[in-house]
Amino acid sequence: MESSDVHLISWNVAGLKPTLDQLRRFGFANFFRRHRVDILCLQEVKLNSKALATAGRQYEVDGYDSFWACNDGSGNQRQGLNGVCTFVRRGLTLSADNSPLGCPDLDGEGRCLLTDHGSFVLFNAYVPNAAGGPRLPFKLRWLRALKHAMWRERSKGKAVILAGDLNMKHRVLDTHWSCVSVRPEHFKIEESDALPDISKIAALWPDLVSAFKGKTISQIETRNSRNGQTFQKWGVWAKPLTDADAPVRLGPPIEHQGMAEFSFWMDGLHVEEDGQIVTRPTSTSYVLREKGEISIGELLEGMKKLAGVDISTAARDWLVQRSTPSSAEAVRLWLEDVLAGGMVDSFAEFYPKAQGRFTCWDQYRNRRHENEGSRIDYILVDETFFKRHASPGAGLDSRGLDADSPTAALAAATYDGLSQPSPFIGGGVPPLEEDEYIAQFRADKEGPSTGIIYTPQQLSDHVAVSLLLRKVALPSATLSRNAATQRCQPHLSSKRITDFFSRKDTPPLKRQAVAV
């Protein structure tokens, strides 16, 4: 086997068609060249096999093979959702499998694709969202199957890489401070003489809990000031702790009634195996939120609006140090178990103190421009393989600032202010201009890296993550044409545009009788 560097990129594109429409303005192949792509894992491509078989050639890139796992409607969700695709520089792949979990209803949602690259295998994964709780049991079953599939490949002597949108956070640093959770009932009034605000929270907490439990929700109408369009949403109100009669509104307008009911919720939330949300734990239920648990954002808003107390930054940081990530406990434990079992979170390993390095934001509320997001996109690597081959390369995009600082993270996410937020009067994300598009490229100047690639906001609500491997043994064999690999390439059955203009073969002339 030959050895070479490998630059792997993983990116949730939130729909390949609209993303590709934007990329084609500047050249899809140019995107691969400037990022020095060897392997590109895409999630949420939202294409089914029929669409690929009909017009899949449009997604080809010269010099690369592509492999697909699609949702064709055989799983639990309607066809066309989800979908993952892996582009690989030609000659680096031995085989592919879009049913690696070994279970029809798990593989049927088009969320996982396995490719074999000789010395290592790559799982491209789009882990199910818990959908607020009802799909948590399915998510956990899916994750257990993925873990089993990874161990199966290791038993064959392969190193394992898991890349994709894992829809989970396992460190407090992976979420904006407003979304991590605390349990103030455990605070002591005398906890910190240096932080009197913590004592205030502890003293007022019983009254805040009563106010939160007495909240009301009702429909509210929001309006787009630009075009006059109205939207029906839900608002949450609670009574202040003072003698004021009028309730005050807490939080932003909320899309769904159920989400409004469970905001500022104090009684704990659990989900049964059948997906039913319950407030009392049972022997078979999973924890969504512990009793008395609240996000720091909700806590600080309650203190300000209901108690009239502004919490200092120092007290907020004290709370963050005692918080837990917002993912469900069972999901966090799965990831912690995978890491304890010998895998490395490549980003956290190279940049353990980096703050504000998120990969996904709420586009509708311009959260990328305030850097209020989460890191839910990962590249996990078997530890021995990581230590032998992984390199930080050019490191994090820091725009000349301290790479670990939240200031550097915001500057990288917004291209030093070049990227502008959507106007509040409507109209959507500003058009992608050439200078903003070019701002994402560092590899063609500084070389590839392990970390985050800040792709433009117009392309997806996620940015890409990357891994640089040095001197990896690569296969010399040709791509297998076994049945499993062929199922991963439905686009090869579609015609190229040139096929429609090529000369048709003429039938052979009939043999003429010749007199002798």
3-state secondary structure 423-437: CCCCCCCCCCCHHHH
Give the percent of the chain with pLDDT over 70: 93
Q: How far is CA 183 from CA 113, 169, 278, in A?
A: 39, 19, 20
Q: Are 280 and 257 in contact (CB under 8 A)?
A: no
Q: Is the pLDDT of residue 36 over 80?
A: yes
Q: Is the pLDDT of residue 509 over 80?
A: no
Q: Is the pLDDT of residue 514 over 80?
A: no
Place 247 in a pLDDT band, splitting at 50, 70 and 90.
very high
Convert the pLDDT of each residue in 408-437 to its tens digit.
999 999 999 999 998 866 668 899 999 999
Q: Is the pLDDT of residue 466 over 90?
A: yes
The 3-class SS string of 291-346 reads CCCEEHHHHHHHHHHHHCCCCCHHHHHHHHHCCECCCCHHHHHHHHHHHHCCEEEH
Give the percent of the chain with pLDDT over 90: 83
Place 507 in a pLDDT band, splitting at 50, 70 and 90.
very low
Place 226 in a pLDDT band, splitting at 50, 70 and 90.
low
Q: Are 395 and 449 in contact (CB under 8 A)?
A: yes
**What is the C-alpha separation between 118 and 115, in angstroms, rounded?**
9
**480-499 exposure pattern, b = at least 16 Cβ within 10 A, e = fewer:** eeeeebebbbbbeebeeeee
Place 79 in a pLDDT band, splitting at 50, 70 and 90.
confident
Q: How far is CA 417 from CA 363, 368, 421, 465, in A?
A: 16, 11, 9, 21
Quote the tokens at residue 393. 């390369």
Convert the pLDDT of each residue in 109-128 to its tens digit.
999 999 999 999 999 999 99
Place 516 in a pLDDT band, splitting at 50, 70 and 90.
very low
pTM confidence score: 0.93
**What is the C-alpha separation between 298 and 175, in angstroms, rounded?**
15
